[in-house]
Amino acid sequence: MSDSGQKEPPTVCNVRDLHHHYGEHAALRGVDLDIKAGRVFALLGPNGSGKTTLFRLLCTLLPIQQGQVRVGGFDSGSQPLRVREQIGIVFQSPSLDMKLTVDENIACQGALYGIRGAELRERRDVLLKQLDLVDRRDDRCQVLSGGLKRRVELAKGMLHRPRLLLLDEPSTGLDPSARLRLWDAIREMAEQGIAVLLTTHLLEEADKADDIAIMSQGKLIAEGSPSELRAEMGEGVITIVADDAERAESILRDQLGLKPQRLHHQIRLKVDSPAEMVPLLVEMLGKEAQSINIGRPSLEDVFIAKTGEAFTA
């Protein structure tokens, strides 16, 4: 229980010691996750980090090789059909029938789950209103914008009232306005008590989530809220550009006792009082430094600090 007396939200999905291999390649290497009801969980990582494999395992599209995935209390390895009842999925690739209307697409989804008649009409009407699609219900999906198509996909994924909603790169191809509308819908679903997990390679998108897990080379390298992850970096990050980065790094390490990280011609330092540090850096580095910049810690800084590598989408 938290200090405010509020109960912790229940955990909808547990992942424990999850491994997955494609031949000799280890795509996942011992992943642990807890995804809670009423929260948006972002799985952040560059291409090849393992997030797509993890997403497919959560969707029951890949068999569990080693470890455990439980959703709503059901084991994905031994009870995949029960797990599928607990999850809604919006894939990156469209799943809409473009020749059918919005209403007809949702009705087809209902048929897959045995939802018909008055129950279908009630659930569909609620979702269309929630996702601001009422005026487009009779439009064929082929005439809808990318943002509207995404909202229809959300309606399909939510029709059977899942406990866990899985979104794969949900804002891909959307303009900034459509992304904002999509995030309004995602946030509203979380406020209804649904656990939402999304994959993304966009740092600014992950920053909107309640919880973030950063992946690299099949492992979780950092986990927490955006503010918690940035707090690990101190009050600020100093970025130094130098012609001879190796020499500048040596000065910072050997003469000032600092712990710099070097990326090509850039050197990064995480410090608690960056403004106070700059005059000393100028004095010690002199002409070695082309530029010295101060910035607040970002999720990219967290990734660099954990891996020693640049974040590349």
3-state secondary structure 169-197: CCCCCCCHHHHHHHHHHHHHHHHCCCEEE
List pLDDT tens digits, range 262-289: 887 789 888 888 888 899 899 888 888 8
Question: Residue 248 is part of a domain; what is its CATH number?
Answer: 3.30.70.120
Does 70 score more than 80 pLDDT? yes
Question: What is the Cα–Cα distance from 291 to 120, expressed in whole angstroms?
Answer: 62
Do 135 and 126 contact (CB within 8 A), yes or no?
no
Question: What is the Cα–Cα distance from 120 to 115, expressed in whole angstroms?
Answer: 5
Q: Residues 133, 213: one domain? A: yes
Classify residue 145: in a domain, yes or no: yes
List pLDDT tens digits, range 192-220: 999 999 999 888 899 999 999 999 999 99
Q: Residues 175, 238: one domain? A: no
Does 302 score more than 80 pLDDT? yes
Q: Residues 18, 83: one domain? A: yes
Residues 301, 305, 310, CA angle at the centre, nearest 5°?
A: 65
Question: What is the Cα–Cα distance from 202 to 46, expressed in whole angstroms?
Answer: 9
The total domain count for the chain is 2
Question: What is the Cα–Cα distance from 91 to 281, expressed in whole angstroms?
Answer: 48
N- to C-terminal Cα separation, the chain: 38
Q: List % helix, strand, coil for the chain (3-state, nearest 5).
A: 40, 30, 35
Q: Residues 167, 287: one domain? A: no
Q: Residues 206, 285: one domain? A: no
- pTM of the predicted structure, to 2 decimals: 0.84
Classify residue 32: in a domain, yes or no: yes
Domain end among 229, 245, 276:
229
Does 5 score more than 70 pLDDT? no
